[in-house]
Amino acid sequence: MTVAATRLRGTGGRCARLSRVRDPPTHPDRAPTLAEMVRAQTGMAWSRARRLCEEGRVLVDGVRCTDPATRLAPGAAVAVDERAQRLRTGPLVATAIVYVDRDVVVLDKPPGMLSVADTPGNKATLADYARTLLRQSGAGGVDVKLGVVHRLDRETSGLMAFARTAHAQRALAAQFRAHTVERLYHAIVHGAVAAQRIESSLVLDRGDGLRGSHERRAHAARETPREARRAVTHLRPLVALTGATLVECRLETGRQHQIRIHLAELGHPLLGERVYIRDHRGPVIEAPRTMLHARTLGFLHPRTGRQVTYEREPPEDFREQVDALRLRSG
């Protein structure tokens, strides 16, 4: 029998009664998450374990931890108190704020949430939820609409930056246009993928109504059309899985759907892909969403000029998919 543990930053809290826990699932190459330890301790369903964390009913070393994806280090104690006062919760939990100052806010977008409105008046977006969360947390700065400088697809999870001032928006947008922003993604893709660099010219219609590479058109003209946009993706395999690969994708450019298009055209569409998979002829591994996570985001701070870099591990559904395929291959 062991006691679960981690060291955290966060608001202090009185430690609830500690419970002894069953040994967590053993993954020698990674530390268990807080949700895994809560589940091991209580035997409850994954959804309930995650909800207890998000509601503020789990303490680690006496500190309230609301992020179920927190990795635990050996030696610290996890306490679960289902009767503790619940934190105010909403579509976006407080731990989604990775960094905030008067100029920018960096957020960890959950899968299934729109980055910005797709139709006029739609407030169910990361931008609007984040503005509410900032107001509730007293984060300072001007309570104005957050400035958009880049986007993530609805099903993609991970790091996004918004500007809080007009100057910050101009400065960040210029960096994205110049492709100087560091952007690393993790993706789970079909098949075995080798390290390589992919470059193509993306067009709105590759000939079948879908975005894609001009070079892939059946009767592509020798001359690249003026509207085409150069797109470069660097791939690096991380873990070989059963029928799939966990890969790192580094964007040299950042075009809409760039990673999804490049991997699909390479013959290795993302797990959960619904659009760019029509040409895939191999077995399809089912997934609840597009398995793509924006893990690293780095840029020059618009006011100080310093390089800042942020990282967030993939959410639980992504890790569960990797673990399931890893266990099959083992």
User: Which sequence positions are flagged as catalytic?
Assistant: 153
Neighbour-count burial for 34-62, b at 16+ CB within 10 Å, e otherwise = bbbbbbbbbebeeeebbbbbbbbbbbbee
Q: How far is CA 219 from the centre of its chain?
A: 37
CA dist 259 → 18, 185, 198, 255, 290 (Å):
45, 9, 10, 8, 11
Query: Which candidate, 55, 20, 56, places its Cα nearest to that of 40?
Result: 20
